[in-house]
Amino acid sequence: MYVDLLCESHIIILGDCMSLLEVFSHNLRKYRRALGLSQEAFADKAGLHRTYISALECGKRSIAIDNVERIAEALGINAYLLFIQDENNTDIAQSKRSKRGKK
């Protein structure tokens, strides 16, 4: 599976792996905040509803590929950047797993 291959490459580099939805949610929030936009202002810019943006950032909703593109355009980034796991994502994954009693 593609996601497993992606995670395996990150495990080697970073030591832990988040689900693709967790990575997307974290990155959406990170890039939105870097622009200094509230969820509501960002939702307006992307042409989406603020509750949808909130649910995405909380990892409570899946996303269609056309909305990934709209969000990336509103953020002014390439869409693939929303799916790249970085060291901050890994720290969050480890924290969440330890709270759930997982290694």
Sort residue 76 into left (φ over 0), alpha (ψ -120 to 50) or beta: left
Greatest C-alpha distance within the chain: 39
- The model's pLDDT over 7-52, given as tens digits with 9 standing for 90+, comes to 444 433 344 578 999 999 999 999 999 999 999 999 999 999 999 9
Q: Is the dihedral of CA 51, 90, 37, 65 positive or negative?
A: negative
* Mean pLDDT within 52-66: 96
Highest mean pLDDT: which of 1-5, 13-17, 77-81?
A: 77-81
**The CATH number of the domain covering residues in 2-92:** 1.10.260.40
Q: Which residue ranges make up each domain of the chain?
A: 2-92
pTM: 0.72
| Predicted confidence (pLDDT) at residue 77 exceeds the cutoff of 50 | yes
For all residues of the chain together, what is the average pLDDT?
Answer: 81
User: What's the pLDDT score for residue 102?
Assistant: 53
Q: What is the share, in percent, of the chain residues with pLDDT greater than 70?
A: 69
